[in-house]
């Protein structure tokens, strides 16, 4: 009954709040338009047509929404009064879901309303928004929506803070708060990053003009600059607010003392950081590859390249801007990972997310490398084997540039992640992780499938030739490509099988480790004392020691399991 009551009250309050915001926004927009029309007489009409209809609709929606929201919110607030019952109500997941859903939806609405409003304001000096547009109420709609939404956001932020101060949040409430903070931070950061990269690219394209290019004018640039200034300003402010607010919970005593609410052990925080890292790494590497492709293609073609080196400068603006902006995001969040890993003992679940990310990037990079080195080798061998074959213009330069770019970009990316994963694999937990096994078996499976398909295709071509079909230069090219793919797949298969055998050889054999075993719990103020104790124990002849950092919850579970084991024996 209690859950049904909460669902009903907060669901109706959420819908009514949406109606109230819609109605108040319309009323405020009409009020601004009427004030502007009276203060600044203009030959153009201010706002859209039918102000009476708009006012009637806004008043009706506001009245119904206000009555429904006040009534249901007042009833919901009555249940939070008192001590025990009120504290349970404040900690309820449904109430936390309502508050954080309002915060998330409201923040996203305010973000894009602020983006549009700032873009219009920036467009006035740039000539995108004329004085007539401003007087006619172009900025009143986003400004009104942002104002009304911001007021209700501030109110619900205060409600959430007061609930947590009176009744510290539990696991469900902390999770919902993190969903709001990290989704908002993710959206705002991507909005800022793409807009900043686009702004830099637009300015670059305006400065670097290839000889012979037709310059249309600056109106398009002004429109782009105004829109991107709005996205940059709104995204930066929203991201800073969400990120600083979420990071502040790491040092909050009321949270760090609670295993359920500890921000430093939050899986969602790890997901956010590594998702941003995945996007940043992918987009940075891709755009660096585009730059390298343009440079390599122009170098290979030499004087035959259309536009020469100046054409490269013209085309490199967009990828260079994207690589620079997302490269900064990459470096910043990589530092965040290093800082937080040094501050806390990483749990296995958090490490698993990092391993999944690392092995995923390694797999993508090794596939890129295989395609690149195989394609480049096939192109070179085809040119050597069939020098007189007629091919499309610039065929070899395009292929070599594309495949060599893939290989050159993939090698440092794969090595950077794989070398770190290999060093961690010295420990049994990382070596036996599911992510590592999946990576190895997927890499082996892809290599085997490539070998099978290459062999089958080569045999197919030979059978056709044996049955009397005329051999062509195209079949020679396809056979060379299949052979190169098989060679690269064979090398990768050999390497990953070797890694798999090394992992298996380091795995302890059941029954081989004979002797007496004991479980010891070490507790100290910092990790250095634990390390010193481990070194002292390892110095004893004939004594093997394995130390695995765990948190207080895991220690409690291990103690209970140990007691049950003693009772059973």
Q: Can you give the pLDDT at residue 72?
A: 92
Tokens standing for 203?
């300015």
**504 pLDDT more than 50:** yes
Examine the pLDDT at 538 and tell me if it is beyond 50.
yes
pLDDT at 474 > cutoff 70: yes
pTM as predicted: 0.75
Establish if 167 belongs to a structural domain.
Answer: yes
Query: In this predicted model, what pLDDT tens digit does every residue of 385-408 receive, in sequence order?
Result: 888 777 776 777 778 888 888 888
pLDDT at position 215 over 80 = no
What count of residues does the chain have? Answer: 569
Residue 60 burial (CB count, 10 A): 12
Q: Give residue 467's domain range.
A: 370-506
Higher pLDDT, residue 298 or 68: 68
- The residue out of 506, 538, 555 marking a domain boundary is 506
How far is Cα 481 from Cα 547, in angstroms, rounded to an integer?
Answer: 50
Q: Are residues 461 and 539 in the same domain?
A: no
Q: Is the separation of the CB atoms in 47 and 137 below 8 Å?
A: yes
* 313-331 confidence digits (pLDDT tens): 777 888 899 999 999 999 9
Taking alpha carbons only, the member of 191, 195, 204, 193 closest to residue 318 is 204
314 domain-assigned: no
List, in order, residues 6 or more apart from 159 with CB less than 8 Å away: 99
| Gap between the Cα atoms of 292 and 280, Å rounded | 18
Asked if 426 and 558 sit in the same domain, the reply is no
pLDDT of residue 255: 44
- 250 part of a folded domain: yes
Rounded to 5 degrees, φ, ψ at 188 are: -65, -40
- How far is it, in rounded angstroms, from Cα 448 to Cα 492? 10
pLDDT band at 382 (very low <50, low <70, confident <90, very high): confident
Together in a domain, 533 and 436? no
Per-residue pLDDT at 180 exceeds 70? yes
Backbone angles phi, psi at 391, to 5 degrees: -130, 165
Residue 310 included in any domain: no
Residues 6+ apart with CB under 8 A from 279: 190, 326
Domain end call among 203, 232, 265: 265
Q: What is the pLDDT of residue 203?
A: 87
Q: Once rounded to an integer, what is the mean pLDDT over residues 266-292?
A: 86
Sign of the C-alpha dihedral computed for residues 358, 362, 363 and 365 taken in this order: positive
Answer yes or no: is 198 within a domain. Answer: yes
499 and 532: one domain? no
Does the CA dihedral 414-416-417-422 come out positive or negative?
positive
Contacts of 35 (CB under 8 A, 6+ apart): none
Residue 428 banded pLDDT, cuts 50, 70, 90: confident
3-state secondary structure of 43: coil
Q: Where are the beta strands (DSSP E) in 139-210?
A: none
Examine the fold and report which residue of 265, 299, 315 is the final residue of a domain before the chain moves on. Answer: 265
Q: How far is CA 127 from CA 33, 119, 142, 424, in A?
A: 22, 12, 19, 57
Q: Is residue 192 part of a domain?
A: yes
pLDDT tens, position by position, 292-306: 877 777 777 665 555
Tell me the mean pLDDT in the region 188-203.
94
Residue 209 pLDDT grade (very low, low, confident, very high; cuts 50, 70, 90): low
Lowest model confidence (mean pLDDT) among 99-103, 131-135, 389-393: 131-135
Give, in order, the Cα–Cα distances in Å from 235 to each of 229, 241, 429: 10, 10, 40
Both 561 and 498 in one domain: the answer is no
Claim to verify: residue 155 and residue 16 sit in the same structural domain = yes
| Mean pLDDT for all residues in the chain | 82
Residues 494 and 532 in one domain: no
Are residues 89 and 168 located together in one domain of the fold?
A: yes
| Residue in the block written with tokens 């481990």 | 534
Is residue 453 domain-resident?
yes
The verdict on residue 222 lying in a domain is yes
How many domains does one find in the chain? 3
Considering only CA atoms, which of 511, 569, 524, 568 is closest in space to residue 550? 524
Please indicate, yes or no, whether residues 106 and 33 belong to a single structural domain of this protein: yes
Q: Could you tell me if 485 and 555 lie in one domain?
A: no
* Rg of the Cα atoms in the chain: 32
Q: Is the pLDDT of residue 310 over 70?
A: no
Per-residue pLDDT band for 441 (boundaries 50, 70, 90) equals very high
Nearest-angstrom CA–CA distance, 329 and 280: 6
Q: Are residues 483 and 557 both part of a single domain?
A: no
Assess whether 244 and 378 both reside in one domain. no
Q: Residue 373, Cα to own-chain centre: how many angstroms?
A: 29
Give the residue-averaged pLDDT of 103-124: 92
- pLDDT of 569 over the 50 cut: no
CA 407 to chain centre: 25
């Amino acid at each position: 009954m209690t859950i049904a009551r909460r669902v009903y009250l907060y669901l109706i309050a959420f819908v009514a709040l949406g109606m109230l915001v819609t109605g108040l926004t319309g009323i405020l927009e009409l009020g601004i338009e009427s004030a502007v029309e009276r203060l600044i007489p203009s030959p153009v009409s201010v706002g859209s047509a039918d102000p009476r209809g708009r006012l009637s609709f806004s008043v009706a929606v506001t009245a119904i929404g206000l009555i429904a929201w006040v009534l249901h919110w007042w009833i919901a607030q009555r249940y939070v009064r008192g001590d025990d019952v009120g504290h349970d109500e404040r900690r309820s997941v449904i109430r936390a879901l309502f508050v954080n859903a309002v915060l998330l939806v409201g923040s996203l609405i305010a973000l894009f309303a602020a983006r549009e409003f700032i873009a219009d304001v920036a467009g006035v000096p740039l000539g995108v928004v004329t004085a007539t547009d401003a007087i006619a109420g172009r900025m009143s709609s986003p400004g009104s929506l942002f104002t009304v939404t911001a007021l209700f956001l501030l109110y619900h932020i205060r409600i959430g803070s007061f609930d947590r101060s009176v009744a510290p949040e539990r696991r469900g409430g902390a999770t919902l708060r993190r969903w709001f903070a990290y989704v908002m931070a993710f959206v705002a950061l991507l909005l800022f990053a793409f807009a900043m990269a686009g702004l830099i690219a637009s300015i670059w394209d305006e400065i670097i003009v290839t000889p012979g290019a037709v310059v249309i004018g600056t109106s398009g640039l002004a429109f782009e600059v105004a829109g991107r200034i709005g996205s940059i300003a709104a995204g930066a402010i929203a991201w800073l607010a969400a990120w600083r607010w979420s990071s502040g919970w790491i040092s909050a005593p009321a949270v760090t003392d609670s295993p359920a609410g500890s921000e430093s052990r939050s899986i969602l925080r790890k997901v956010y950081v590594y998702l941003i890292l995945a996007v940043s790494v992918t987009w940075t590497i891709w755009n660096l590859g585009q730059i390298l492709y343009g440079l390599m293609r122009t170098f290979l073609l030499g004087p035959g390249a259309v536009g020469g080196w100046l054409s490269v400068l013209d085309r490199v603006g967009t990828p260079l801007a994207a690589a620079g902006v997302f490269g900064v995001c990459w470096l910043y969040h990589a530092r965040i990972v290093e800082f937080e890993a040094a501050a806390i003992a990483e749990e296995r679940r958090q490490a698993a997310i990092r391993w999944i990310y690392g092995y995923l990037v390694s797999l993508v990079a090794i596939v890129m490398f295989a395609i690149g080195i195989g394609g480049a080798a096939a192109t070179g061998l085809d040119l050597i084997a069939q020098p007189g074959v007629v091919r499309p213009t610039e065929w070899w330069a395009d292929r070599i540039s594309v495949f060599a770019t893939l290989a050159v970009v993939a090698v440092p990316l794969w090595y950077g992640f794989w070398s770190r994963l290999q060093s961690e694999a010295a420990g049994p937990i990382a070596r036996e992780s599911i992510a590592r096994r999946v990576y190895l078996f997927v890499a082996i499976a892809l290599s085997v499938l490539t070998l099978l398909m290459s062999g089958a295709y080569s045999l197919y071509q030979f059978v056709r030739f044996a049955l009397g079909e005329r051999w062509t230069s195209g079949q020679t090219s396809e056979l060379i490509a299949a052979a190169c793919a098989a060679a690269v797949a064979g090398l990768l298969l050999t390497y990953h099988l070797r890694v798999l055998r090394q992992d298996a050889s380091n795995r302890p054999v059941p029954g081989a480790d004979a002797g007496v075993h004991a479980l010891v719990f070490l507790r100290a103020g910092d990790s250095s004392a634990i390390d010193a104790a481990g070194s002292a124990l390892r110095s004893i002849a004939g004594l093997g020691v394995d130390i695995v950092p765990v948190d207080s919850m895991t220690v409690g579970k291990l103690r209970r399991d140990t007691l049950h084991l003693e009772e059973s024996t």
